[in-house]
Every structure is written in C-alpha cells, then in structure tokens.
C-alpha cells in the first residue's frame, strides 16, 4: 500500500476531491497547512508599511491506497489540481506498512475502502 | 465642557424657569440635557469597553489578545475607583491654579441636590469619569505585548493622579490654563496630548519588543480592529457632543464636525495607502479615522463644518507621516502608534483651533479682544506645558514603579505570549 | 420624519414656550427632543458601523471578510463627505418637485441658530446623514465577493446623488411624492425600495460569483452575523423611533411596533425553517428579523400594535419565499438577498400602511378625506416610480463606471479572495 | 421603577407645566425623560442582544456557540410576543394582590395618549419588555450545552407568565410586595432572585453535562466573553439608570453607584484570583463585574456612593465563594453560575439595601416610620416568598414540559455539539 | 521504529490520550483535520436551503514508537477510539527510519521517550 | 529521498525557516499542531479553578529532500530549533518513494527544488 501526501492550492480542493471520488476513492483526510516554495507569499499592508508573508495557505491531502491504484490516484490529483501556475504543489508517495479500520478491526487493503 | 462653552451654549428652558421662578432656579436640572449626558456617559464608557480594547486587541498577536483586553477592563475598574476616591476631587474641587483640593474626597459632596449647570453633579462626575478611564487606556497601545500587568495597574493609577487629574484641573477645573483662556473643548490637551506624550516616554523607557522592528507581525484580527474602530466612532459622538454638557445647538454642531473629521481622516489615510501600495486597508482607514477624531476633539465645540473638514484633512495627512517617522524611521516601538496618532492629532487640533474658531471659518469666534495669533500662543503654551509635565511625571512614575516590580515581563513570557503567563487564558480555543 | 408626522406628534413644551414668549419661539430647541435625535444619530450610524458590516461579513467566506468590512467603512466615510458637500442640499434645500437645489452646498447654511422643528438643524442633518450612509451600504449585500473596490466607491457616490438624494427630496424634502401624500415614516420607499431595486440590477449587471449556485459556501461566521443582527435591531430603534424627530408619543409607539415586527419576523422565519428542515438556524432568525424590520419601517409612525404584528407576520413569510424565488429558483446572485429581504419587505410595508394606519387597526388614521384605497394607490405609485427610476439610474451609473474601471475583480482574485488582493489584509491570522 | 422612586425623583418641569396649565397636565410627556427611557430601552435590549449572548457564548465550547446565541435570539423574539400579548397585562394591569388582570391583553389599552408618569405608556411598556426578555435569558447559563431547543422555548414562555409576570406585579405592579413596602429599584428580587433560583432548579432537574465535573473545557473564547461583559456594563446604565423612569437626579445617582459597584466587584474577583493563582483572568474580572452589578441593582436608586462601594465589595467576595461552593463543592452543574452570581448577588443586595439606604450611608432614607431592621424583615420576606414560588413553579413547568418533549438532547448530540444537530450551523468555518 | 498515524473522532481524543498514557506512551502530536469517508458530513442550513458538508471534523494522532510496542499502541488506540459507528477512523503504520530529540541530540529509540 | 518531519516550538519557526533557506532548502510545509510530551501544558484559570491543558502548541515542518542533503537538513533544524529547554521537539525521518511537481509533472528529486 502507498501513503500519498499531496500539497495543493485550497481553491483546487473541491475539484480534486470530486475527481478522486469519480475514480472510486472513498476516503481521504484534509489538513489546512501553510507552504513555502517558489511561490512567494503575498504582502500585507500595515499602517504605512508592507509586510511580506513567507507562507501561503495550502491544503494537504492524505490518502492511503492499494498499490494497484496508486499511480491512478497520483495522476488524478495532478490533473485536477493543475492550474499551470507556480505554487500548484507536490505529491509525495510513501510506503504504507499496514492499515486498520477502527470500527471493524479490518486490516490491510480491506481497511481502506 | 469648559466654562466658556457652557456659557455659549446655555439653553433656553433653564433660563425660562429661572425667569418664572427665580427661587427654584438653583435646583433645576434640565431633563433633556441630563438625558443626553447620561447617554454620553454610556457612549464614552463604550469607547473603552469594548471599543478601544478591541481596536488595540486586533492589532497585536493572538497570543496577547487576552492581555490587551484585560488591560482595558482592569483599568476601567481601578481607575473608576481612583477617580471616585481621589481623582475627581483633585480635578474639580476647589480653585487652586495647579491642582484641586481634597474637598471632594470619595465624592462625598455629591448628593441628589448638587448640580453642574443644568445636569445633576452625579452625572457630570460620571461623565468625567469615563474620560479619566479612556485617557490612561489610550496609553496601553504603547506598551502592549511586553509590560508586566502589575506595573500596568500601578502606573495607570499613579498617572491618573499625577498627570491626568491636575491637567484636567488646569484646563477644565478652573485652574491655570482656564485662566489663560486655553480652548480645549473635549480633550486635545487634557486627553490626547497627555496620553500621546506618556506613550512616547513609556515606549522609550520600556524598550522595544523582541521582534521589533525586524519581524513585527501584522494585526492578528482586522475584524476586531474594525469593530473597535466603529465603536470608537459612535462613542466619540458622546465624547465631543457630550462635552457641551447640554443637548442643544452646541452638542449638535460638535457631533456634526466630529463626524466629518472622522470620515475625512479615514479617507485621507485610505487614499495615501492606495496610492503607495495599490491596496487600501481597513486597519489603515480605521487609523485615519482615529487621527481625524483626535484632531477635531479640542476644536469640536468651537468650529463649523469647514473647520471639521480641514482638521480631518490635516489630522489624516500629518498623523500618517508621523507614524512613518516614529515607528518607521526613528524605530521607536510605540507599538500601536499612540503618540503619532493621538498625540500628534490632539496637538495639531489644539493649535489649529485658534484659527478655525474664527467666524471666517464659520466658527463660533474667539473670546472678545483675543486675536487668532494671541490664542495660538495660548494654545501653544498649553500644549508645551502639558507635554513637559506629562513627560517628566511619566518618567519618574515609571522609575519609581520599576523599583518595586518589573516593568517588563521576561523574554520567555514575551515570546510565549502574555495571555497564558499573566492571565491563565488563551484568546481562542479549538474546543 | 415627514412633515405630517411632525405635526401629529409635536410636543407640548415647545408650544408652551411659544405661548409664553412668542418672540423666542423661533429659536427654541427642545433639549429632550434634541437628546433623543443625537442618540438616534449614534444608533443609526451604529447600524452600519459595525452592525450591517458584521451582519454581511459573517455571511461571506472568510477570504472576503475584510473586503466586506472595508466596503462598509469606506462607504460610511465617502458618503458622509458626499452628503455634506452636495447630498443634503439636493435632498432638503429648496422646493423643487424632483430635486433640491444647491442652496445648501457644503452645509453652509447650517449654523448654531438654524432649527428643524424643535431640534438644531445640525442634528437633523447628521441624523439624515446616517440614512444616506446605510442605504447604499445595504446594496453591498448584492455584490460581495466579486465587485472591484474602486467601482464600489464610484458607484455608491454616484448613486447617492442620482438616486438617494432625489428620492429623499420627493418624499421627505417636500418634493413630488410629499405633495401626493405618500406615507413613508422611516424609509420603506426612500431606503428599502431604492436599495432593494438597485441590488437586483447590480446583481444582474455584475453576474454571478464563480461558484454560484453549485457550491456556495455557507456563512463563515454565524457569530458575526448574529452580533451584527443584534446591533441592527437596537439601531433600528433610532432609525424608526428617531424618525419622529422628537421624544414623545410618536417615537414611543414607533419603537414599540418596530420591536414587535422584528420579533415576529424572526419567529416566522425560524418556524418555517424548523418545519422544513427540523433545525431552526440563527442566520435564518436574524434574516427574518431584518425582514420584519424592513417591512415595518415605512409604517412605524402611523400604526399601532396590531399593525406591527401583521407587518412582522407578512414580512417574515413573504420575504422567506422571495429568497427562495430569487436566489433558489431564478438563480439571481443577489448574494445576500438584499432585494428579497429589504426590497420586498420595504415595498410590502409601504403598501400595507394604507390599511394598517386606519383606526380600525389602532393606527393613527389617514389624512382627512383620504380613503384606504386612495392611499394605497398613492403608495403604489410612489413605489413604482421609485423602483423604475432606481433601476434605470442604477443601470446607467454602472455602465458609465464600467467604461472607466473594471466592475468585477479578475477570476483569480475572486478565487483567492478579495481580502489580500484588494486590501492587503487577511481577516484572521494564526499568529 | 417603583411608585416610591417616582415620587422621590419627580422632576420639576412636569410640575411646572401642571402649575401653569392644570388642564394640560394630564397629557404632558416630558421629552427629556422620554428621551432617556427610549435610550434605556435600547440599552437594556443591548444587554441581551448581543451582550449576554456573547458573555455566555464565550464561556461554552465552540461546538455550542451557535446554540447559545440562538437561545438568546429566539428568547428575545418569543418573549417579546408573550409580553405584548399577555405578560404586560398580567404584570401591570389591574390591582390584584397576586397577579394583574387581562385588561391589557395585546397591549390594547396603550395609545398615543396614555402615560406612565411623565413618559408615554408605550415607552414604559417597551422598557419593561426588555426586562422580561433578559430575566429568562439569564437562566440560559444554567442549561447550556445540553437542553433541547424546543424545551428552551416552551419553558421560557411558561416561566415568563407563571413566574416573572406575577412577581413583577407583586413588586412593581402595585401587588402584595409593593404594599409591604419592599424596596427593589431595578430587579434584585424581580430579576435576579427569580432567575437565580430557577437556574438552580433547572440545573438539578436537567442533571450534569456528560463531562462535568471531570473535564469541563475552559471558555472557548474569552474574547467574546469580554465583549459581552462590556456590553452588559454599558447596558446596565439603562437597566438601573432607566429604572428611575426619568432623566434627573435619581437616574444620575443610580448610574454612578451602579458603575462603582461594577468596578469594585470586578477588582475584588481579580485580586482574589491573583492571590490564589498568581494570574488574574479576564473572565474572572468580568464575572466579578456581573456580581457587583447584580448586587447593586435592587439598591441602585436608594443609595449613595458609600453604598455602591459596599455592595461592590460584598457582591464580589460572596459571589466568588458561592461559585466555589455550588460548582466546586456541591458539584451542581449550574453551568455558567447563574445562581452563584446573579441569584446570590441579587439577594444580597436586596437584603443590604435596608441598611445602605439609610442616610448614615448617604442613602435616600427609608420610608417614614420604618426602621432598618423592619425594612430588612420586609426584604427578607420578599426574597423568601419569591424564591419559594420560583422554585416550585420552575419545577412544575419543567415536569409538565418533560411530558411533551425531551428536556435534554441525546448524549450523542451533546458530545457532537448542539450547533449542527439542533441548528444546522457551525460557529466558525474554515472557508 | 514505526510512525503511527491515527485518524479518530474528536470526541474520542481525551479517552484515547488517557489510554495511551496508561500504556506508557509519553509523547504524541495532534492535528485538527477534516475527513472524508463513508461517514457523510452533516448538512447545514442557510436561508431556506440545506448545504451538505463533504468533510467531517477529525483528529489526527501521530506517534513514533519502537517496533516492539507498535502493536500494543495500535491496539490501545483501536479500543479507546472505538464507538462502533461509521466514521470511527483508521490507523496507518509507516516505517520510521530515524528519530532525533532536538534538545539532547539523542537519536533512534532514545529520542522517543 | 527522505521525508523529514520536525515538531518544533512555534517561537522557533522563523529562525528555523531562515536557517533552512540559507542551506538552500527552497520548499517546505508547515502545520499548526498540538503536542504532548515531557513538557506539560500550562494551566488555565476559569472562575476559581485551574484547568491543566494536556497539549502545548507546536509547529510541524515537513520537508522532502534528496538523500544527500538529509543529514544536513536535520542538523540545521536541530541547531535552529534548539533552546535547550524541555519541549524543543523531535525530528522524524521517513523514506520517500517518489515525488511529483504538479505544475510540471517532474518526478523524483527534480520535483523537489
Ligand atoms: N521540498 C518540499 N517538501 C515539502 N513540501 C514542499 C516542498 N517543496 C514545496 N513544498 C510545498 O509545495 C508547495 C508548492 O511549491 P512551490 O515551490 O511554491 O510551487 P511548485 O510546486 O509549483 O513548484 C509549497 O507551498 C509547499 O507547501
Ligand atoms: N483511504 C484513506 N486515506 C486516508 N484517510 C482516510 C482514508 N479512508 C478514510 N480516511 C479517514 O478516516 C475517516 C473515517 O473513515 P470513514 O470511511 O468515514 O469511516 P470508517 O473508518 O468507520 O470506515 C475519514 O473521515 C478520513 O479522515
Ligand atoms: N513519540 C512521539 N511521537 C510523535 N510526536 C512526539 C513524540 N514524542 C514527542 N512528540 C512531540 O514532540 C514534542 C516535544 O516533546 P517533549 O517530550 O515535550 O520534549 P522534548 O522533545 O524536549 O523531549 C511534543 O509536544 C510532541 O508534539
């Protein structure tokens, strides 16, 4: 199994979520995060001065998936989150040793969907 | 609020009663005037609680939001008591040139018979109390995010007695400046010059916040600041309009010019920001509003619409550049720009009133035989003497308090935030 | 606020003074009336700052909260100046049928001698100014989350001069509708019909938000909305009660029926939601309250308790279904339902007053020789003429402004939120 | 508010008019008095909306913030209607000893001619209505985070009619306690004893919150609580000052002593916390303020400055330890300490007024031939009879309502929070 | 070492935390997240319309543990977070290469407790 | 590649970020979290009682890096976040299988900088 972490633009969350649902992903977890990268934070005004904000708001998706569909999931996220502008974000893929559904005690791939 | 203004705007009904029943005249409260000053008292307390508290609280970091609110709340309480016990007497009892006497200790002389003009003395004393609360509260903006709470309380009480009460006596209590003929309708000198000067001194004595000026955080909540600013605006109607001490032409015109100056001050600031950065901010507009209001305050009972416009413009522009100068260039951490906005605005208005009160500007005119330049010199003297005394006294008070308790919190507490360390609370929870 | 109402509710003391000292009568302000209108002025400004600002700000997404607050704040400032310079004159100077004259430019005629009824003219002008602020501010609800700030300012100023000031003149300034005998105590036509109609036109001209109607986000902060709604309720006491321009029976009854209509409007909305969804919401109740208030506004000085109850019921029910119709069925993105709530409510009240003012409903009665049907036709004409003029003028103003600056922000800015892009601020910070 | 107080503080102008034109006297409203009570009406409504709502909302968990706001908002609406339809009549119509009659149903007798003292009866009825709203709203603090919304509404309406209206009649409507000579200027018995007692009963009947007392969460927003507390303070000027029903010496002194007691109550609480925990909290100071205010309320129109000081001290100390006792030791989940703060404070003030009204304490004095001990026994009887009736009636109402609908939400709903489950809203969103 | 990620119901946080403390877990990190899964978000009311919320509030626990106690930790969480209702959440187990305590520079298992 | 997770004190974020930028790290993601460990939460006051808060505010950094610089990054964080007081936090190092830049579709190490 793979543990996929995607950092995307908040404004792409709804579409990405919809696209994932379409390919049958039935579970994921979302966190509000702040990102630093090539996309620079905007500046804020405060009483006659501009302050630059190092971090920009991003959204992190975490999705545990079976190895078989990992590529498909990555591809789907990539397409849905894509705006072709700096700051579109990254997808990271980690190995997932095991998973467990708390309600039923199912393990492994069975826990995921 | 001055004796002058009372004369100018004395209302008819009281006169009428006096003519009909001379023997009753001494006891006549006017219900309309009283209604308005009761309301104005509520409005001015509203300026501090929660107006100014929110205005300032929105500008700091979220880890210090409770401490800022607590400063305002605790000051409102402790200064009320100080005022009742001693302050009111020092300000308004007796006819010394420099300070009142102890005849009004504990407000013992106030009964349901005593009057001030056409309103009960109890109402006058309560109205004045709200000024005695907000003036030290304004200074909070200079020391947020680092001053030790015990020192905040001690300083404010001492300052009320040593600076605010005497200066009030000088100007409004029949003291030395009243005899010079200083014009200060609602507190350009009494409130804003004193608070502004004290802010500067305390900022220098305390020193900068650890992250100033490299990485000052922007206001944690423009929402709170905007709410507070709105309440300040509304409340200022009571501050300036109530200073007429009656509900008549004087109060009406004071309210109108106050409003105009607020609106124009805000617009000036907004358009400067728009021009410089392309983006006008709500914190900027609110700051300009305060600048306009502080500037019009001393003049509000003496001027007409053109005066209000000019003071709004002047206050907006000059305070904007004063912020740049003090915080930007001189790197003085008067954290929320109390001197640059209140001090500079109040002083500016206190000086310009000498001209804007002229009938040429639709003002109410100066006292007989007084020229604008003459009045200007009087105003200048008033401002200078007040600023010097305030600076000296503020410095000495801080040094004395510093012998008994720390003026600043430790660096650790400052970094972690004052809220938990000093008050055991956090502003916002997740649960 | 109308000349009628002044006559009906003229208070005794002024009469008394006039009888005793005819020569003084012209100069007599009544301190009680003045106290109340000073207070009412503060209350109505409070409705916009921060009342309406918070009410609307809570309903949008958090990335646009600053922009909504800024719209209100900046409008309050720029419209005050517009009113002082030109608007007041166009509305209340001279006796043209369609528009005032330029005799009151810069409020030059207002002195500490001039009166309006028993109150200083300065107070009247300031009170009216607060209406001139909130009316264009109501329209904000139609264009939140997408309109360009420069266009917001330009539109509001032009609209104040081309729509609000003339219509005020027609109804309250002795213009054409006053001569028809239109009854509009506190602004069903002048305020709510104009603002509601303009909202509909601007929503159609601007077009929908990018995510409307598929995925409109629910209000980001019912807390802010509830605070704002509460302030609107309180402030409306000044709005309707102050429109009596005196502190007597007229103001008292206006306040009482206003309160009743607000309470019932809110309950109606709450129970409909409860019935439909099983869960009554605070945003729903607050919306119903506004509907009740808008509906009772034109009638508030002419009706008794039964009238207040009926208008609360009618306003609640009809505005609820109007929201469903406009936003739900017609998919018009009048984003915060300005037309459905204010427009529909204000029109409803403006029509029903013809009947509810009858003594049969404990009202104050119609003018002599006027039947309810006759009055109804007059009211209907007033509403229609006002709506047509407002729609036309709003459309033309928008088209003209569109030639000079973008009416909408870019799609990118809309998606990212107006706060940072247009104002360089975020509503809520983590630090 | 009592007939006594009206006599004591009757104002001059009305007298004057009566002397000059006896035939007109019956119809004379005093514009100043009316202006103040109109304002006071707005201030007292402001105490509930949004004052008390925010004060309480800040103290609960964020998952219940909407429900607390909704309780206040919905109660304000439904109780207004109840008051108009029936409550006002039961409280103020007729001269039964135990309850009013049905002569004032639907406020049908109120016209633009009827008076109460020097103010329009419409204003008196509206002012009283704001008391009829806030009293049941105070009880909300006992049942937050677990009571079912339908039961909240049903309980509050029934309680208004069965407890509040009759008790009001006993004390202020010329009923039995008025004939005993009970002194209750602004509601120590009528408001605070009733609300406090009911809170205790409802807390016992409903039972504890699931996580009480092991893991009660601290207030989710001291910011909201502080804002609400500030509004309560301001609004209390209208509550106590307005209870003079005129704008004169009585209102002035009531406002002054009210303010002092608030300030001292807050300081007492703050210093106790400082002493015990080393960190004074803003929620603590605000709670002490409410304690001081509740305590001074019954006495505010009868006492002088020393009385205000003593009641502030007494209220602060005793309510602090009452909280410890009820919630800490007895583990009764009167969740926001309504009995410990309002009940205990109101009772304390109701008893102490017998002494503090003496001229020895600069009070206005007792009625002729009445000794302090005699008055004390009268006050004690008033408190006891009211508490017993309130407890009984509250218990019975709850039991009856419990037959028709659940008093509590399910455990699941309680754990997930009432906001979504009962109102379909969340207080704070991310978007 | 293992890096255990558990997504649970917010109302189970306190009990789960207590249970973990009991078995000797002395460190963990908590994040507020939003979850999408079989449990559907509730609906919200807004002026005459219901809106369904895709995401429900969840809490994410992250706990780095020695391999030896990993199973025990998973089991403890499972029991404490269990309510037998849909939405009880998942536990994910990843491999942890290394750990370091910033204060002391300890590495590996020593850094964990 | 490595996926580095660091839990640090919020007050050290700015300096740590600056130090990382200096050694050429051009991307990272930040999350507000709450931590439980040896450092005990502070107590809060509520009406005559003290409540102890189990969790303290922390900040979580996530940085995906090439294996070659992983040690350097860990070291830099350690130094910058260090205050020598309890609660300074931890650094966890996981294996990262793959990474992808959404904008350009670059994979692996190329996606990171
Ligand atoms: N090495 C990294 N490790 C973790 N997160 C990263 C890394 N690089 C970038 N990110 C995250 O991805 C977001 C987008 O990266 P950025 O460089 O701005 O644009 P792009 O992805 O288009 O190159 C950043 O805001 C940050 O949250
Ligand atoms: N494949 C997944 N990857 C990541 N998180 C998931 C995944 N599936 C579910 N979750 C998280 O677990 C939570 C509970 O899952 P859900 O399907 O609603 O119930 P259950 O765990 O009882 O089957 C979700 O809200 C989501 O946060
Ligand atoms: N085993 C662990 N797994 C995940 N996070 C942990 C673990 N132990 C500690 N933490 C995180 O590190 C933070 C600091 O740990 P703590 O024990 O308080 O101090 P120190 O790091 O100085 O030993 C904690 O608040 C928590 O967020």
pLDDT in tens, B29-47: 999 999 999 999 999 999 9
How far apart CA C26 and CA C391 sit, in angstroms, is: 42
Distances (CA, A) of D328 to B56, C293, F46, F102: 35, 45, 11, 57
Q: Would the CA dihedral through B297, B299, B304, B305 be positive or negative?
A: negative
Partner residue opposite F44 with nearest CB, options B415, B416, B424: B424
Query: Could you tell me if B393 and B161 are in contact, meaning their C-beta atoms sit under 8 angstroms apart?
Result: no
pLDDT value, residue D426: 93
How far apart CA D97 and CA D93 sit, in angstroms, is: 11
Q: Does B45 touch chain D (CB under 8 A)?
A: yes
Ligand 1 atom at minimum distance from F65 CA? 1
C215·A14 Cβ contact <8 A: yes
Residue C60 lies in a domain: yes
Mean pLDDT of D297-309: 98
Taking only the tens place, the pLDDT of each residue in C46-77 is 999 999 999 999 999 999 999 999 999 999 99
pLDDT value, residue C159: 98
Q: Which of D150, D164, D133 is nearest to D423 (CA)?
A: D150
Query: Could you tell me if E39 and E45 are in contact, meaning their C-beta atoms sit under 8 angstroms apart?
Result: no
Cβ–ligand 1 distance for A90 under 6 Å, the answer: yes
Q: Does D1 touch chain C (CB under 8 A)?
A: no
Q: Which residues of chain C have pLDDT under 50?
A: 1-26
Reported ipTM: 0.95
How far apart CA D237 and CA D260 sit, in angstroms, is: 11
Residue C178 lies in a domain: yes
Question: The tokens 């001990």 sit on which residue?
Answer: D373
Domain that holds residue D137: 32-423
Helix H or strand E segment including B239: none
Q: What is the pTM of this model?
A: 0.95
Distances (CA, A) of B372 to B261, B368, D157, E70: 22, 11, 65, 86
Partner residue opposite A102 with nearest CB, options E33, E36, E81: E81
Residue D11 lies in a domain: no
| Reported confidence tier of residue B430, pLDDT bands at 50, 70, 90 | low
Chain B / chain C CB contacts < 8 angstroms: 203
How far apart CA C381 and CA C399 sit, in angstroms, is: 27
DSSP-derived secondary structure letter, F43: E
| Reported confidence tier of residue A102, pLDDT bands at 50, 70, 90 | very high
Q: Does E47 touch chain C (CB under 8 A)?
A: yes
Distances (CA, A) of A35 to A7, A39, A60, D125: 8, 9, 10, 59
Number of Cα atoms under 13 Å in the Cβ half of residue D400:
11
- Residues from chain E that touch A103, judged by Cβ atoms under 8 A, are 82, 84-89
Cβ–ligand 2 distance for E108 under 6 Å, the answer: no
How far apart CA E29 and CA C421 sit, in angstroms, is: 35
How far apart CA D197 and CA D207 sit, in angstroms, is: 16
Residue nearest to atom 5 of ligand 1 (CA): F28
> Mind giving me the DSSP string for C132-200?
HHHHHHHHHHHHTTTB-HHHHHHHHHHHIIIIIHHHHHHHHSSSHHHHHT---SSSIIIIIIHHHHHHH
> E-assigned strands of B45-172?
115-116, 119-120
pLDDT value, residue C27: 55
Q: Which of F27, B66, E15 is nearest to D285 (CA)?
A: B66
Taking only the tens place, the pLDDT of each residue in B282-303 is 999 999 999 999 999 999 999 9
Lowest mean pLDDT among A5-9, A43-47, D218-222: A43-47
Q: What's the number of domains chain B is made of?
A: 1
Q: Which residue of F has its CA nearest to B412?
A: F11
Taking only the tens place, the pLDDT of each residue in F45-95 is 898 788 888 899 999 999 999 999 999 999 999 999 999 999 999 999 999
- Residues from chain A that touch C423, judged by Cβ atoms under 8 A, are 45
pLDDT value, residue B296: 98
Partner residue opposite F95 with nearest CB, options E27, E97, E99: E97
pLDDT value, residue B431: 58
Distance, CA of D355 to chain centre: 22
Contacts of D340 (CB under 8 A, 6+ apart): D319, D322, D323, D325, D326, D327, D334
Q: Look at phi and psi of residue B365 and say left if phi exceeds 0, alpha if psi is from -120 to 50, else beta.
A: left
Q: How far is E57 from chain C (nearest CA, A)?
A: 16
Q: Does C215 touch chain A (CB under 8 A)?
A: yes
C12·D32 Cβ contact <8 A: no
Q: How far is C294 from chain B (nearest CA, A)?
A: 23
Partner residue opposite A90 with nearest CB, options F31, F97, F101: F101
In degrees, rounded to 5, the angle at the alpha carbon of residue E111 between the alpha carbons of residues E109 and E113 is 85
Ligand 3 atom at minimum distance from F88 CA? 22
pLDDT at D129 over 70: yes
Ligand 3 atom at minimum distance from E104 CA? 22
Whether the ω angle into residue C236 lies within 30 degrees of 0, i.e. cis, is no
Which numbered ligand comes closest to the C-alpha of F1?
Answer: 1
In degrees, rounded to 5, the angle at the alpha carbon of residue D234 between the alpha carbons of residues D233 and D235 is 90
Cβ < 6 Å from ligand 3: which residues?
A: E 27-29, 62-64, 101, 103, 112; F 7, 35-39, 56, 58, 86-90
Residue B428 lies in a domain: no
pLDDT at B24 over 60: no
Residue C144 lies in a domain: yes
Domain CATH number, residue C108: 1.10.3430.10
Through-space distance between the first and last CA atoms of chain B, rounded to whole angstroms: 49
Q: Which of residues 10-49 of A touch E (CB under 8 A)?
A: 17, 26-31
Q: Which residue of A has its CA nearest to E53?
A: A14
pLDDT value, residue D173: 97
Lowest mean pLDDT among B3-17, C79-93, D13-27, F14-28: B3-17
Q: How far is C47 from chain D (nearest CA, A)?
A: 13
> E-assigned strands of C44-166?
115-116, 119-120
Contacts of B15 (CB under 8 A, 6+ apart): none
How far apart CA B28 and CA D13 sit, in angstroms, is: 8
pLDDT value, residue C67: 98
Structure tokens at B65: 């939001």
Query: Could you tell me if B239 and B281 are in contact, meaning their C-beta atoms sit under 8 angstroms apart?
Result: no
Mean pLDDT of D230-250: 98
The residue among D27 and B15 whose pLDDT is bigger is D27
Structure tokens at B418: 């004052």
- Residues from chain D that touch E14, judged by Cβ atoms under 8 A, are 215
Query: Could you tell me if C239 and C43 are in contact, meaning their C-beta atoms sit under 8 angstroms apart?
Result: yes
Q: How far is E1 from chain A (nearest CA, A)?
A: 12
Distances (CA, A) of D114 to B431, C369, D6, D121: 52, 27, 17, 5
How far apart CA F97 and CA C373 sit, in angstroms, is: 81
- Residues from chain C that touch D21, judged by Cβ atoms under 8 A, are 16
CATH match of A2-111 with 3.30.70.120: yes
Alpha helices, H only, D64-164: 65-82, 88-92, 121-143, 149-159
What three-state secondary structure class fits E52?
strand
Query: Could you tell me if A76 and A65 are in contact, meaning their C-beta atoms sit under 8 angstroms apart?
Result: no
How far apart CA C234 and CA C47 sit, in angstroms, is: 8
Taking only the tens place, the pLDDT of each residue in B356-377 is 999 999 999 999 999 999 999 9
How is chain F split into domains, by residue range? Answer: 2-111
Ligand 2 atom at minimum distance from A102 CA? 21
pLDDT at B17 over 90: no
The residue among B20 and D170 whose pLDDT is bigger is D170
């Amino acid at each position: 199994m793979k543990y996929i972490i995607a950092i995307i633009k908040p404004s792409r969350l709804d579409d990405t979520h919809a696209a994932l649902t379409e390919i049958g992903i039935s579970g994921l977890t979302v966190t509000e995060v702040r990102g630093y990268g090539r996309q620079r934070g905007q500046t804020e005004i405060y009483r006659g001065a501009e302050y630059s904000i190092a971090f920009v708001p991003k959204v992190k998706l975490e999705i545990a998936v079976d190895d078989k569909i990992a590529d498909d999931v990555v591809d789907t996220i990539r397409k849905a989150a894509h705006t072709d502008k700096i700051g579109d974000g990254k997808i990271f893929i980690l190995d997932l040793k095991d998973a467990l559904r708390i309600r039923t005690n199912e393990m492994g791939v069975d826990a995921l969907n | 609020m001055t004796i002058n203004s009372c004369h100018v705007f004395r209302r008819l009904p009281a006169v009428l009663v006096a003519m009909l029943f001379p023997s009753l005249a001494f006891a006549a409260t006017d219900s309309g005037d009283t209604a308005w000053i009761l309301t104005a008292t509520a409005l001015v307390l509203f300026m501090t609680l929660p107006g100014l508290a929110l205005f300032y609280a929105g500008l700091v970091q979220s880890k210090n939001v409770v401490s800022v609110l607590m400063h305002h709340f605790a000051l409102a309480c402790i200064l009320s008591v100080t005022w009742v016990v001693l302050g009111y007497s020092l300000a308004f009892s007796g006819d010394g040139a420099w300070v009142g006497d102890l005849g009004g200790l504990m407000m013992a002389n106030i009964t349901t018979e005593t009057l001030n003009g056409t309103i009960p003395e109890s109402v006058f004393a309560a109205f004045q109390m709200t000024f005695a609360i907000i003036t030290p509260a304004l200074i909070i903006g200079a020391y947020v995010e680092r001053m030790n709470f015990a020192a905040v309380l001690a300083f404010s009480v001492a300052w009320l007695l040593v600076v605010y009460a005497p200066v009030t006596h000088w100007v409004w209590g029949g003291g030395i400046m009243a005899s010079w003929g200083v014009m200060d309708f609602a507190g350009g000198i009494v409130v804003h010059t004193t608070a502004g000067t004290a802010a500067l001194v305390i900022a220098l004595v305390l020193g900068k916040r650890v992250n100033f000026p490299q990485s000052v955080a922007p206001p944690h909540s423009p929402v709170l600041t905007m709410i507070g600013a709105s309440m300040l605006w509304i409340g200022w109607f009571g501050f300036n309009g109530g200073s007429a001490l009656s509900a008549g032409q004087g109060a009406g015109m004071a309210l109108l010019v106050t409003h105009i100056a607020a609106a124009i001050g805000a617009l000036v600031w907004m358009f400067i920001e728009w021009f410089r950065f392309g983006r006008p901010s709500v914190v900027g507009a609110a700051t300009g509003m305060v600048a306009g209001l502080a500037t019009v305050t001393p003049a509000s009972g003496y001027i007409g619409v053109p005066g209000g416009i000019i003071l709004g413009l002047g206050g907006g522009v000059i305070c904007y550049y004063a912020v740049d100068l003090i915080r930007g260039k001189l790197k003085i951490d008067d954290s929320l720009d109390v001197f640059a906005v209140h001090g500079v605005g109040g002083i500016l208005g206190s000086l310009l009133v000498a001209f804007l009160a002229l009938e040429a500007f639709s003002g109410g005119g100066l006292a007989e035989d007084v020229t604008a330049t003459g009045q200007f010199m009087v105003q200048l003297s008033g401002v200078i003497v007040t600023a010097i005394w305030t600076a000296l006294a503020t410095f000495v008070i801080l040094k004395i308090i510093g012998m008994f308790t720390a003026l600043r919190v430790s660096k650790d507490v400052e970094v972690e935030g004052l809220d938990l360390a000093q008050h055991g609370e956090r502003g916002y929870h997740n649960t």
